Structure 1
Amino acid sequence: MAPPAAGLYVDPEFPAGVSSLVGPGDTPLSALCERITWLRPQEICETPHLFPEDRRRALGKQGILGDCWFVCAASVLQTSPSLLHQVLPGNQCTWEHKGYTGRFVCQFWRFGRWVQVIIDDRLPCLGRKLCFSHCQDQEAFWLPLLEKAYAKLHGCYEALWAGQVVDALVDLTGGLVERWSFEVADESFREEMITRMLELKERCAISCSVLHSREGAGDLGQFHAFTITDIQHGFTKDGQSLLLLRVHNPWGRSCWEGSWGNSGDKWALMDQTESSRFLSEIQDGEFWVEKDEFLREFNEVTVSFPVIEKDRFQSIWTGSPLSYTQQIYGSWIKGRNAGGSRNTTSFPDNPKFWLRIKEKSEMYLTLMQRPSSELGASSSMRCSRQLHCEASKRTTPIAVGLHIWKVEKRRFNLQKTILTPPLAGTSSHCYDRQLHLRCELSPGYHLLIPSTFLRDTEGDFLLRVLSSGPITLRLHEINCNQPAEMTSKDATPGVWETLEFKGEWKKSNNAGGSRNFPSYHFNPAISFCVSTNCQSVKVTLRQHNQENLCHAIGFHVYLAPADDGLSPFSQEPCASCIPHSHSLEVSKICNLSSGQYLIVPSTYLPDQECKFSIFISTKTERKPIQSEEMLGQILKEVSVISLMK
């Protein structure tokens, strides 16, 4: 083994020491920190390389860190060359190259963007051997380097001790991932899942998990993830068809002693040539399991969507390319728009979005919570101490949901819409870091409302839509156009619905000035209606002018005359916002009975030109929504219970 060359890259943000291994506090890994040394690949073996020539030798082994979930997810890089080059960019100087520097770059998809992570190639070892993940080919180092970059992204190696395969798959693909639970599925859907897995085995990463073992059958452990490396048909001596799944245990050793285990008794049912073919195909840690045993022993399957090219994916249900993607960020803020689930009358306060669909399309709508360890790009990463502080504050994801309504935008009424059953939605609010809805939607406008289960629960989210047809996604205008003075105190217990009207005062045309001038009646007049169940109306006039050039503005509200031939100005206003004020915005809450009204905005002096907006916010009693939203269970961590020897 050759010693490393002098002057190789040393990562100042993720040092070769205890701070990069563990966070604060006494943990299972803490006891080993003093024995761990950091070595570069050429100090570990004679001929290090990034990838093995035999793809099967790239299978990962987990080591002493409980990150089976990440090791299993990393198999996704074997399914798409474009994805592999996205996560591990090409043209990196490795140990075989003259320009080798010991510096490597990895990329992960985090909260809507690809984040670059730069590391050196010093790796944790015990007794001159890698102590964390490694490949079947122990001279291949793509997995240990990727694991180190992922640990840096999370703050330290120990932060990877427990997690979910689905989260790692999203971080590695930037795409869609589905979890299929066998526990809640009926027999027909289980058969469909197996058929789908058989079709997808060459194009997708497929993982399976044991969340709790059957009583008396604990060979597979619990809270443990595995990789499905193949699915094949076989035949018994008498011609009976069998379906066998090849499963890889990231512990690197077989743990299945069932009928089709490596020394199981069912192999005798096959012709020797047939059984030898199956058994010759397994690597260390792999075993075969028959379909019915698989469905009985494993609790769920996780499947990633095929990657066509960067940030383009293919549906696992129809095979259609999901060629159109839009995303938008949002937040739930206490006292403002954290309205809670449909069980609460405050549900309409939640953020709202318009989704416009131009043709009938297969749709996937995802709602992602901001990861607790979400960081900026490598160039702006914070120091190791800051990373550990962030890692120590990791919290359980909040319970979130997403609902969709088809609406006629021109006749849209929020209160009436949310009282009707949604077109599609989550069956229960769940703690997934990313959830998604799959549906086929027709052309037109759709209202999307993401929510937390409990009211006033704060959090950031990313709403993303992937579609087979063209789409547009934008924020609902009601939230962003509400006047600044409208506070959360104003908004309860009723609901404010706001309409916006735009206008302009023009010299010698309709800039009539205040009621002190005979030209007042030339001013614009905006008509609006007050319904029978309205409690109050808030009128806001906003001039679009620089603050130091403000005109004095105000407005009057008149009851519209029953006879079109009568002038509204022959009567006194029923509400006024005067005296005129040199402000960008003036407003007044008016108690108005049902009927038709006119708002007349004006500047104090005639012939003062300016564009303006009028916001009419009506406050109505909020009817209770007939809904009993359910709360899902907190996700169980997929981890290793004790240190592996």
Structure 2
Amino acid sequence: MPPPGTGLFVDPEFPACVSSLVGAGDSPLPPLCERITWRRPQEICAAPRLFPEDNRDALGAQGILGDCWFICACSALQKSPALLQHVFPAGQYTWEDQGYTGRFTCRFWRFGRWVDVTIDDRLPCLGHKLCFSHCQDHGAFWLPLLEKAYAKLHGSYEALWAGQVVDALVDLTGGLVERWSLELANESFKEEIICRMLDLKEHCAMSCSVHKREGSGDLGQFHAFTITDIQQGFTKDGQSLLLFRVHNPWGRSCWEGSWGQSGDNWALMDQVESSRFLTQIQDGEFWVEKAEFFREFHEVTLAFPVVKKLCIQSIWTGSLLSYTQQINGSWINGQNAGGSRNNVSFPENPKFWLRVRMQSEVYLTLMQRPRDKIGSSNNSSRTLQHGTSNHTTGTAIGLHIWKVKNRHFNLQKTILTTPVVGTSSHSYDRQLQLRCELSPGYHLLIPSTFLRDIEGDFLLRVLSSGPITLSEVSSNKPLEQESEDKMPGVWETLEFKGQWKKSNRNAGGSRNFPSYHLNPRFSFRVSTNTEVVKITLCQHNQENACHAIGFHVYLVLVDGSLPLFSQEPCASCVPHSHTLEVCKICHLAPGQYVVVPSTYLPDQECKFSIFISTKTERKPIKSEETLGQILKEVSVISLMK
């Protein structure tokens, strides 16, 4: 092994200087920078290693950086050897290896793909001690190296000052994460939460958070903890107890409740039983009884198990979510940023087809792209070093899903019905998640922002137990509008297919010929709130062999008769033109109409399509969607002495 600093890798993209420590300078970290030095692990301890022998000694402690949310999420890697080997690839040379170079690579899942981040192993210290995260075993360095790579991904250590466990879990697992509000849970759901946690404690990373000062106040505010175990115990008189073992990233106990290390309630157990619990806790851990747990903590965050080949397993059914589809999209002001269902412009949002092939358990996630574009294809030092702090708040996003009979449907009528599943409140979260059981067929997915005209990029991802297909609904080109047409509305289009054939005696030609009445006819209705009608006739022919085409529109009389020759057309698209498509925009009074397409000359054969688009005033959607709360988990402890 080379002496420290001799011929070892030095990362030019994330140097050992102040720019890697702080970015915007909006945290308590900047005043400490002058005291921070950078040291390699062999300069910190005599025998550094990547992982401890005992997995329990890999528990993380926080240091002076407010990234409790990230440290809690790292417990997911301890639950899945396959995931740990993917995030921290095996085969890297460490300090005891002959090929050690001081270079390490970690992987993070960012906006739909895994991103490699390479760093050197120079770590921030105060004196000769790590000043940020460290393991329970001070000779193990996987956690501070992973933290450094995550800081590089975000642009600086300061960017990790505040965040959410759910975001870090997604970045580390590439999977699904659920959050359960303990404040809003009724007794039935609390029991369901307990059952889920007991079943999954060996396989899932579990975290609990405090959002405000309530109860004892010992646990701090906006602080995240790791749930390391759940066990059943018994009092001397045989009463059953359920105790949660909780780890504080501060690395010291902060709980002085009745089941704290010196709490009174241990006397309720016999000495053997109480000793069994107390001997299990390490620095920073404490036991909390079930009633205290629901009283003191406000939220539980749980990552879905990641099994072999990084397949995600449902926490509700145990099914493998083997089928995954994802697609990128954008909200663009003036085009498709329609806002929430509170807005009449909601149908303008991007729309997607989800085809489900068989009855399936389906999870849908909508992720908004971080504003710093981290994880983009241009993984340059500029991108990495100028990332935005996690204090940056995204926009509020939502997602709704409707079942439709087929891909030809009435959009306005569909969105006025109740969705199969949807967000009850638009959320500022980076990623929202929905779970549902979907039957075979087509489903319409509409992601939205809360306010209209808000721009942003997003990733729509679907994971399913059965085969699925995800695709974007093709957006029609903007329909021509006359200058006086200023009222917001919705275009609804009918499509008719037809054919002029001599053998069918329906190729009647134009009104110049007595056979005109033989031409095909297509009926449509104009309602009382219709503003404008656009009729388009397309011939399916080679461009160099076009017939001259046109059409006339007639009002159907009250008795249903259609005397074509005694009535002038209400609208016409003439003269006939040698072109693939002709179009006419017109205002028509309410009533029943017929459009008659024709070629100029009789007996000319061709297939054609007619599109009749009516623009109506959009009906208001009965929806009162709300905004969610912005939460960031952050904590800071006293400086190391």
What is the TM-score with the length of structure 2 in the denominator? 0.89
CA distance in 1 between counterparts of 2:80 and 2:514 reads 72
Q: CA deviation at 1:411?
A: 6.4
Is 1:441 equivalent to 2:438 in the alignment?
yes
Q: How does 1:314-353 map to 2 (within 5 A)?
A: 314-353=313-352
Task: Say if 1:153 and 1:524 are closer, same or farther in 2 by CA, change over 3 A.
Answer: farther
The answer to whether 1:407 aligns with 2:404 is yes
The equivalent of 2:585 in structure 1 is 589
Cα distance between partner residues in 2 of 1:552 and 1:452: 47
Contact 1:21 1:158 in 2 (8 A): yes
Paired residues of 2:549 and 2:579 also in contact (CA < 8 A)? no
Q: Give the structure 2 partner of residue 32 of structure 1.
A: 32
Q: Distance in 2 between matches of 1:148 and 1:248?
A: 22
CA 1:130/1:230 → structure 2, altered by over 3 Å: closer, same or farther?
A: same
Q: Given that residues 28 and 643 in structure 1 are in contact (C-alpha distance below 8 angstroms), is that contact kept between their aligned partners in structure 2?
A: no
The residue number in structure 1 matching 2:302 is: 303
Which residues of 2 match residues 94-113 of structure 1 at below 5 A? 94-113=94-113
Counterpart of 2:329 in 1: which secondary structure? Answer: strand
CA distance in 1, matches of 2:58, 2:35: 27
Distance 1:544 1:163, change over 3 A: farther
Which secondary structure does the structure 1 equivalent of 2:307 belong to? Answer: strand
CA distance in 2, matches of 1:235, 1:76: 30
Structure 2 residue 365 is matched with structure 1 residue 366 = yes
Superposed displacement of residue 603, structure 1:
9.8
SS in structure 2 of the partner of residue 314 of structure 1: coil
Secondary structure at the counterpart of residue 448 of structure 2: strand
C-alpha deviation, 1:465, in angstroms: 1.7
1:626 correspondence with 2:622: yes
Cα gap change, 1:156/1:188 in structure 2, threshold over 3 Å: closer, same or farther?
Answer: same
The one-letter code matched in structure 2 to 1:343 is N
Aligned-pair distance for 1:354?
2.2
Q: CA separation in 2, counterparts of 1:483 and 1:156?
A: 44
- Give the letter for the 2:490 counterpart: V
- Quickly say closer, same or farther: Cα 1:629–1:3, change in 2 above 3 A: same
* Aligned equivalent of 1:640: 635
Single out whichever of 482-491 and 432-441 deviates more from structure 2: 482-491
Distance 1:11 1:550 in 2: 65
- Report Cα offsets for 1:358-407 as digits up to 9, x if no partner: 22222212121112233246x832334x5454416963122222222222
Structure 1 residue 296: Cα displacement: 1.0
Task: Say if 1:155 and 1:373, in contact at 8 Å, map to a contact too.
Answer: no
Does structure 1 retain, via aligned residues, the 8 Å contact 2:74–2:169?
yes
* Partner Cα separation in structure 2 for residue 243 and residue 224 of structure 1: 23
Q: Distance in 1 between matches of 2:602 and 2:43?
A: 84
> Which residue of 463, 466, 476 maps to 2:460?
463
State the TM-score, normalized to the length of structure 1.
0.88
Q: Secondary structure at the match of 1:326?
A: strand
Q: Is the 8 A contact 2:209 2:223 kept in 1?
A: yes
Alpha-carbon distance in structure 1 between the residues aligned to 2:298 and 2:7? 50
Tell which deviates more after alignment, 559-568 or 58-67: 559-568
Q: CA deviation at 1:290?
A: 1.1
Deviation (angstroms), 1:413: 1.5
2:191 aligned residue? 191
AA of the residue aligned to 2:41: P
Q: CA deviation at 1:159?
A: 0.5
Quote how far apart the aligned CAs of 1:497 are: 2.0
Identical-pair percentage = 68
The alignment yields a C-alpha RMSD, in angstroms, of: 3.7
Q: What is the CA deviation profile of residues 584-624 of structure 1, one whole-angstrom value per residue up to 9, with x for unaligned ones?
A: 87643222343343363769999999x98764322122222
Range that drifts further, 500-509 or 490-499: 500-509
Aligned in 2, Cα 1:627/1:422: closer, same or farther, shift over 3 Å? Answer: same
CA distance in structure 1 between the aligned counterparts of 2:139 and 2:484, rounded to whole angstroms: 64
Name whichever of 165-174 and 302-311 sits farther off.
Answer: 302-311
Instruction: Tell me if the contact between 2:401 and 2:444 (Cα under 8 Å) persists in the aligned partners.
Output: yes
Matched residue type, 1:284: D
71-80 or 390-399, larger mean C-alpha shift: 390-399
CA distance in 2, matches of 1:542, 1:331: 31
Determine the C-alpha separation between the residues in 1 that align with 2:49 and 2:423: 46
Compared with structure 1, are the counterparts of its residues 580 and 104 closer, same or farther at alpha carbon in structure 2 (3 Å cutoff)?
farther
Deviations 1:425-480 (A, max 9, x none): 22222222111122222222222222222222222222222222222222234xx2
Q: What is the aligned partner in structure 2 of residue 395 from structure 1?
A: 392
> What's 1:222 paired with?
221
The question of whether the paired residues in 2 share the 8 Å contact of 1:24 and 1:388 is answered with no
Conserved in 1, the CA contact under 8 Å of 2:159 and 2:391? no
Kept in 1: contact 2:499–2:605 (CA 8 A): no
SS in 1 for 2:295: helix
User: Could you report, residue by residue, the CA deviation over 1:514-549 in whole angstroms, capped at 9, with x for unpaired residues?
Assistant: 9699899799968352332432222346789999x8
Q: 1:509 offset after TM fit, Å?
A: 12
- Superposed CA offset, 1:264-293 (max 9, x none): 121122221222221111111111111111
Q: Which residue of 2 aligns with 1:14?
A: 14
> Could you list the per-position Cα deviations for residues 232-284 of structure 1 after superposition, in whole angstroms to 9, with x for gaps in the alignment?
11112222211111111111111111111111121122221222221111111
Question: Which residue does the alignment assign to 1:424?
Answer: 421
Does residue 260 of structure 1 match 2:256? no
Give 1:474-623 correspondences, 5 Å limit: 474-477=471-474, 480-483=475-478, 485=480, 492-499=487-494, 527=522, 529-533=524-528, 534-540=530-536, 555-559=550-554, 574-577=570-573, 587-593=583-589, 594-598=591-595, 600=597, 615-623=611-619
> CA contact under 8 A between 1:18 and 1:33: conserved in structure 2?
yes
- Partner residue, 2:270: 271
Determine the C-alpha separation between the residues in 2 that align with 1:9 and 1:488. 65
3-state DSSP class of the match of 1:162? coil
Change in Cα spacing, 1:199 to 1:392, as seen in structure 2 (3 Å) is: closer
AA of the residue aligned to 1:66: G
For the structure 1 residues 290 and 487, does the alpha-carbon distance in structure 2 shift closer, same or farther, using more than 3 Å as the test? farther
- Counterpart CA distance in 1 for 2:136 and 2:198 is 25
- Aligned counterpart for 2:380 among listed residues 355, 373, 382: 382
Q: Distance in 2 between matches of 1:575 and 1:80?
A: 69
Aligned-partner SS, 1:163: coil
Query: Pairwise mapping of residues 134-173 of structure 1 onto structure 2 (< 5 A)?
Result: 134-173=134-173
- Separation of aligned partners in 1, 2:600 and 2:546: 6
Question: Match of 2:201, as an amino acid?
Answer: K
Counterpart AA for 2:363: Y
- Greater shift in the superposed pair: 345-354 or 300-309: 345-354
Partner of residue 130, structure 2: 130
> Given the superposition, is the C-alpha separation of residues 70 and 620 from structure 1 closer, same or farther in structure 2, using an over 3 Å criterion?
same
Stretch moving more, 308-317 or 190-199: 308-317
Any conservation in 2 of the 1:110–1:374 contact (CA below 8 Å)?
Answer: no
Counterpart Cα distance in 2 of 1:65 and 1:628 = 40
1:34 deviation in Å?
A: 1.9
The residue that corresponds to 2:448 in the other structure is: 451
Aligned equivalents of 2:585, 2:423: Cα separation in 1? 38
One-letter amino acid matched to 2:19: S
- Post-superposition shift, 1:67? 0.3
8 A Cα contact 1:167 1:434, kept in partner: yes
**Contact 1:561-1:568 within 8 A present in 2 as well:** no
The residue type equivalent to 1:382 in the other structure is: S
Task: Return 5+ residue gaps in structure 2 as ranges.
Answer: none
SS of the aligned residue for 2:337 comes to coil
Give the SS at the match of 1:438. Answer: strand
Matches within 5 A, 1:228-243: 228-243=227-242
- Measure, in 1, the Cα distance between the counterparts of 2:599 and 2:7: 73
Matched letter for residue 529 of structure 1: F
Measured at CA, do residues 9 and 278 of structure 1 come closer, stay the same or move farther in structure 2, by a change above 3 Å? same
Structure 1 residues 566, 196: closer, same or farther in 2, change over 3 A?
closer
Q: State whether residues 82 and 310 of structure 2, in contact with CA within 8 Å, keep that contact through their aligned partners in structure 1.
A: no
- Report the number of matched residues: 637
